[in-house]
Chains A and B, each alone.
Chain A
Amino acid sequence: MINAPLLSVNNLKTWFFTDEGTVKAVDGASFEVGAGKTVGIVGESGCGKSVTALSILRIVQEPGRIVGGEIQLRRADEAGCVDLAKLDSEGKEIRAIRGGEIALVFQEPMTSFSPHYTIGNQIVETIQLHQDVGKEEARNRTIELLRMVGIPRPERRIDEYPFELSGGLRQRVMIAMALSCNPKILIADEPTTALDVTTQAQILDLLREIQERTGMSVIIITHDMGVIAEMADDVIVMYLGRVVESGPVDEIFHQPKHPYTQALLRSIPSIFAEPRAKLPTIAGSIPHPHNRPVGCPFHPRCVERIAGVCDVHAPQLRPVNELQMASCFLYHEPEEAPPS
């Protein structure tokens, strides 16, 4: 059991039942998060990265619902697993896990704080929600946390309001709040997307440093292949609600298997490029979520599509070698009869 993953997501489906139709935001996603590892989830906007994170924490908003699959969280104490997908989303158990064992850091720190309370009050409250400590001790812990995430003069800053801080400092406070209950898993959803590169470098360094110190697992969600290359041990590539490829970071960047991963890596503007060189591109654009292609979701844009197969059958995520998995008919035969 030593190598059993801390978190294991199997065939997760989270759909939104909107007036215009069903949006299959996550439609059969599977991946694992090892203890102490950083898993990067990468994909373009709308591919289901954030909904995956919200599903794990069970904070998917109406009209969204988990309609299938499991989210197994391994517990050290009870030597067993709990399926988060099956918990009551308002229940006591998930509320203890949320912000306790699993914490979340968002893209836009401003919207995650209340503007009416000082940052100190908000962190103290989180600590007291999950742990039986007095106000004084919670406040001291908060100052320590703020110091740990690199906030200068934390004894003074603790009484400031969110709007008094810069974007970078706010993101640090957000991380301090997430760390306040010693989570086993930290989910960071585009934690640096709203920041400048220099501030981004500071925050990524901070996340790495904290992980080394605490041994927690990190799920980092981003659309930036550079951030993935810098941070992740393992990578999950998503496209239209599905995991199309997964594997160790070196393999994903140097021997990508799925045509989407390959095309994406070729098409990103790179700082190593020759000036004014034309980039290879992926034809077309991401389909609207109401018009999901039949068969392989990538087939309308795929240069390797096999007519009569890729536009009919849906590929499944299967191993392609010892390290990598891909969901693509270049590596597997169709497994089921086409939907009638």
Chain B
Amino acid sequence: MLYNGVIIRMVVPLLEVRNLQRFFPIRRGLLRRVVGQVRAVDDISFQINKGETLSLVGESGCGKTTTARCILRALKPTAGEVLFQTAAGDVVDTAGLPKAALAPFRHQMQMIFQDPFSSLNPRMTVFDIIAEPLLASGVRSRGQRRQRVERLLELVRLRPEFMQRYPHAFSGGQRQRIGIARALALNPSLIVADEPVSALDVSVQAQILNLMLELQDELGLTYLFVAHDLSVVKHISDRVAVMYVGKIVEIAETDRLFKAPKHPYTEALLSAVPKPDPRLRSERIVLQGEVADPAHPPGGCYFHPRCAHAIERCRTETPALEEVQPGHQVACHRARELTLKGVGARR
């Protein structure tokens, strides 16, 4: 494509989520009648380009995991489209397909879990754990599986001799490496990582984050990274989407979102992070009240009961996610007029 005389490479998103919704019924009484809906994910849209990392952040219960599970079709979306570009180059809507039709490309999306302790079967050796998906996909020769497992262990910087050991012999960081090796076994293009470092020791978090960055460069992986720790997110992401009560309220490039947030909720989240520098102890914005209940969200902007900038309009009218600058979308009536505080580089 030619634009002002410059050749622009058309970036095709690997994943595009359009108007995704997932509600959970609330049932009561003997007849288990549906008395309401938890709007866990409520009409969100975003895309992730090939080789990129997009992070989903937000407080507990805002819908991060539900979004991730819908993308992997571990949950059936209530509505919306999940457009995934397969290795063959076709674009499929995984939200709409019947489960059986998903089989041919399901392995191209893989998950890394939070808890490296419970996600590995304690009765299987490391070899069996990593080789399981290979076997399931039809690699019959044990020699071939062995070779592949060796290569995968190398990739995650573990010694091949570890193959015959059981998970309990490994530290949390090593188990997370094993989990990553298994996720990579079938050459996926998309990795969905749900809080992959939050159960790890601080000194080990850095090792796993570095490994994920290196693997991305080596293998051209695309990451959807789910986390609540904004410091971790700053390290790993190209772009960040902030969720609040089932909706995306802001999405932008990492640097831009941290330095110049445009949504009052993003500003408050950034401000609340304890900074590892005693000289920066200072005026924090402490949000009052609690996160809205996704079964009974307030009218208008869901954030208005806690927002210091709310005006009359915010109580009645729901703000739409709109682009305020190229690549920077915000759902706030006052996004263009407010000047909010971000987190810059240290000094």
Chain B nearest CB, measured from A287 CB (Å):
9
B residues 44-81 touching A (CB-CB < 8 Å)? 53, 59-60
Q: Encode contact with B along A221-253: 1 for CB under 8 Å, 0 otherwise.
A: 001111111101000000000000000011001
* A44 CA to B228 CA, complexed, in Å: 19
Whether A214 is near chain B, meaning CB under 8 Å from some CB there, is: no
Residues of B within 8 A of A265 (CB): 276
Residues of A within 8 A of B269 (CB): 197-198
Q: Encode contact with B along A196-228: 1 for CB under 8 Å, 0 otherwise.
A: 111111101100000000000000000111111
Chain B nearest CB, measured from A187 CB (Å):
19
* A270 CA to B201 CA, complexed, in Å: 15
Number of chain A residues whose Cβ lies closer than 8 Å to a Cβ of chain B: 49
Q: Are A202 and B231 in contact (CB under 8 A)?
A: no
Q: Which of B202, B279, B281 contacts A225 (CB 8 A)?
A: B202
Q: Which size class do B's interface residues fall under? A: 35 or more
Whether B147 is near chain A, meaning CB under 8 Å from some CB there, is: no
Which segment of A175-183, A277-285, A317-325 sits at the interface? A277-285
Residues of A within 8 A of B238 (CB): 275-276
Q: Are A168 and B202 in contact (CB under 8 A)?
A: no
Whether B270 is near chain A, meaning CB under 8 Å from some CB there, is: yes
Q: Are B59 and A279 in contact (CB under 8 A)?
A: no
Contact flag A281-B231 (CB < 8 Å), given A197-B273, A201-B272, A230-B281: no
Q: Are A273 and B59 in contact (CB under 8 A)?
A: no
* A318 CA to B288 CA, complexed, in Å: 44
Which segment of B91-99, B171-179, B317-325 sits at the interface? B171-179
* A228 CA to B273 CA, complexed, in Å: 12
Apart from the given pairs A201-B286, A202-B287, A268-B202, 13 other A-B contacts in the complex at a CB distance below 8 Å: A201-B274, A202-B286, A226-B231, A268-B206, A269-B235, A272-B345, A272-B346, A276-B238, A279-B206, A279-B210, A281-B210, A285-B171, A285-B203
B interface residues, Cβ below 8 angstroms from A: 53, 59-60, 171-174, 201-207, 209-210, 213, 228-232, 234-238, 254-255, 258, 268-281, 284, 286-288, 290-291, 343-346
A interface residues, Cβ below 8 angstroms from B: 44-45, 166-169, 196-202, 204-205, 223-230, 232, 249-250, 253-254, 263-265, 267-282, 285-286
| 4 smallest beta-carbon distances between A and B, as pairs | A226-B274, A279-B206, A201-B272, A272-B346
